[in-house]
A and B are shown apart, each in its own frame.
Chain A
Amino acid sequence: MFDETEYMEINMGPQHPSTHGVLRLKLKLNGETVVECRPIIGYLHRGVEKICENKTFFQGQIWTDRLDYCSAVSNNLGWAEAVEKLFGITVPRRALYLRTLLTELNRLASHLIWLATHALDIGAMTVFLYTFRERELIMDMFEAFCGARLTTTAFRIGGLYQDLPPGFEAMVRAFLAKFPACLDEYETLLTENRIWKKRTVGVAKLSAEDAIALGVTGPVLRAAGVAYDIRKAFPYAAYRELDFEVPTRTEADTYARYLVRMEEMRQSCRLVAQCLDGLPEGPIMAKLPKVLRSEVNEIYHPTEAPKGELGYYLVGEKGSLNPYRFHVRAPGFANLQALPKMVEGGLVADIIAAIGTLDVVLGEIDR
């Protein structure tokens, strides 16, 4: 009699409090179970690639701030290094260390936003208030360094435009002394919390094979047991000389990703301290000709952004001031592609956890 099942189709987003921006999902449900999930993106497509193709290499950086706006400095680093690779520029060592320092601070800020929103979506409001308290301290540092909180445009091609401001080191040291205790505080709120574990353990699994096949990188891949970190595999900036570990887990679920990211924050603290301690003396800007005109070249430069592999693809035209072609390989774009795989067959409420754990930022996905 009832052999024909009718599925319910519902729409989620683009205005939805837990889609982290303007992500839209088209869901097909069988009761509470997700049968099919189709992400629809493009609601924040701003044409960054086209704009940058019409701007000079120096100008292009400001649009990279606005790709993954939670971690602007990481994007700046990728851009600066990609352009340097295109031209064949060697950057002085001090500049590399300063870049690494700022990038790791930014990784902390980005992971704090992830923790805040992920916990808020699942229902833990307090974490949001706690993490933003610490994030403001990092924002203060960026403000002291370059005057902006979010859209930093921190680097220049060939190095940095200014050295650390006076008092910056003291700020960072005070923060480093305080922050591990704060991390412990978040962990006491969440790690053994029964509700948190119920909502995350075993939820939104993604096996290592699927992750690799779908191009998923970053903490999501590492939580599946693959110790792939571009900072180790293809070292850039000063990471070759610094000592840090790549945390991995094997459970491949939301809880494992949470633990991996918490451990990454601890490693970032270590990296920041090492950068400060081992900061070499010397110039912060490479000697460059006044006008940079590119040669015919084509490069792809991957860096480890907080969300995963952030790659810039640039094509240079002979004698041109702007890139002929600019393409961003956004980590979120590839990671979001795995969302259907993670949620199909699960419960509809777990979609919220899955989106949170992927740490999607629509600015870089839609570009």
Chain B
Amino acid sequence: MSDYVYDLKTAPNRQVTLPITVPLPSLKTYRAEQATAAKAEEAKFQKATADFETAKAKAEVAGTELPKPPVKAAPKREVHDLVTPIPSEAKDPDLLRLVERLGEGAEEAFEQSGELVCQVAKERILEALILCREDAALRYEMLSDETATHFPASSSFAFSVVYHLTSLSRAKRLRLRILIPAGFEPESATQAYPAANWLEREVFDMLGIRFQNHPDLVRILCPDDWEDYPLRKEYPVTGWGQRDIDFRDDRSGRLERLAMEKAGNTGINLKVPKAE
């Protein structure tokens, strides 16, 4: 995904294990999983019953003790103060209104942990944000947070971008979510909420997602010449060697050369873009 060549053999301590699952909460997937699990459970029970029948017949013939009939596993009782939150049907009027107004644009809406979530089609996110701010029944005045997550294990998308909206007047919160493939540039939220300016710069800095029509999309936390995007899952925690530069040697602007040398030693080739 990144444009640079990493020689992992020379930097074994910078190996990363990529995640294998896609932890994207969603009512649809949850339902599907539940259905499969129930089916498997049922099949297991059927098989156990069949086994029991044959065993019983055998035991009757042999005249030995009868085996116990199988029982359906009772749902586990919680012994602790922990109730795993599960996604549930959207009942909140805000979500219903949003789904109604967006129509096809709303891909999914559900509630989990007491939070309202609405997944929006990636091309229509700006429309959805403006709707949330302008609609008289919604009135989400403030964009609290905007961030993104990298999902390397998924085949249909690479990132999810989430927007946390707050309605000060109605004391409500809402999360909008879009799923975007690598290279897709979503519309910037700055037109609806100026607060998105720095937040989107941060997302760009950390995950490398570019936003269309952003007024000033440059790196914000890392230096301008930083390589790669740190919060992507294939990026090692210890980075690619920039932190190991010995700044004490640098007396007359040799810093860059040293950085290159050092980076070369630790397995990163900063200059040569990957040949396709």
Instruction: Report whether chain A binds chain B.
Output: yes
A324 at the interface (CB under 8 A from B): yes
Contact B80 A288 (CB under 8 A): yes
Interface string of A77-91 (1 = CB under 8 A from B): 000000001111111
A337 to B143, alpha carbons, bound, how many Å?
Answer: 13
| Given known A-B contacts A51-B237, A297-B113, A327-B147, A88 and B82 have beta carbons under 8 A apart | yes
How many residues from B make CB contacts under 8 Å with A?
Answer: 49
Contact B194 A213 (CB under 8 A): yes
Distance from A296 Cβ to chain B, minimum over Cβ atoms (Å) = 5
| Given known A-B contacts A288-B81, A297-B112, A313-B162, A50 and B198 have beta carbons under 8 A apart | no
Chain B residues contacting A287 (CB-CB under 8 Å) are 79-81
Interface string of B121-149 (1 = CB under 8 A from A): 00000000000000000000111110101
How many residues from A make CB contacts under 8 Å with B?
Answer: 54
Contact A325 B149 (CB under 8 A): yes
A299 to B147, alpha carbons, bound, how many Å?
Answer: 12
Interface stretch, picked from A39-47, A62-70, A196-204, A244-252, is: A39-47
Contact B144 A50 (CB under 8 A): no
Distance from B203 Cβ to chain A, minimum over Cβ atoms (Å) = 10
Chain A residues contacting B85 (CB-CB under 8 Å) are 85-86, 88, 295, 297
Contact A333 B198 (CB under 8 A): yes
Contact B144 A299 (CB under 8 A): no
Contact A317 B25 (CB under 8 A): no
Contact A42 B175 (CB under 8 A): no
Interface string of A95-107 (1 = CB under 8 A from B): 0000000000000
With CB as the reference atom, state the residue of chain B lying closest to A216.
B195
Chain B residues contacting A51 (CB-CB under 8 Å) are 237
Contact A228 B24 (CB under 8 A): no
With CB as the reference atom, state the residue of chain A lying closest to B145.
A329
Interface stretch, picked from B54-62, B217-225, B250-258, is: B217-225
A158 at the interface (CB under 8 A from B): yes
A36 at the interface (CB under 8 A from B): no
Q: Among the listed A42, A91, A324, A334, which residue makes an inter-chain contact with B149, where contact means beta carbons less than 8 Å apart? A: A324
Chain A residues contacting B23 (CB-CB under 8 Å) are 296, 298, 315-318, 320, 324
Q: Among the listed B29, B112, B223, B231, which residue makes an inter-chain contact with A49, where contact means beta carbons less than 8 Å apart? A: B231
With CB as the reference atom, state the residue of chain B lying closest to A336.
B198
B230 at the interface (CB under 8 A from A): yes
Distance from B249 Cβ to chain A, minimum over Cβ atoms (Å) = 22
Contact B145 A311 (CB under 8 A): yes
B35 at the interface (CB under 8 A from A): no
Chain A residues contacting B21 (CB-CB under 8 Å) are 317-318
Contact A297 B25 (CB under 8 A): yes
Nearest 4 CB-CB pairings of A with B: A215-B195, A42-B221, A317-B23, A286-B81
A359 at the interface (CB under 8 A from B): no
Distance from B195 Cβ to chain A, minimum over Cβ atoms (Å) = 3
A20 to B204, alpha carbons, bound, how many Å?
Answer: 26
Contact A41 B220 (CB under 8 A): yes
A54 at the interface (CB under 8 A from B): yes
A350 at the interface (CB under 8 A from B): no
Q: What are 15 A-B interface contacts by the 8 Å CB criterion?
A: A42-B219, A54-B237, A86-B85, A88-B84, A90-B83, A212-B168, A213-B194, A288-B82, A296-B30, A297-B113, A300-B173, A313-B145, A316-B23, A324-B23, A337-B197
5 new A-B contacts, CB < 8 A, other than A89-B82, A90-B81, are A85-B85, A215-B144, A234-B171, A318-B23, A366-B221
Interface string of B9-26 (1 = CB under 8 A from A): 000000000010101110
Chain A residues contacting B175 (CB-CB under 8 Å) are 298, 300
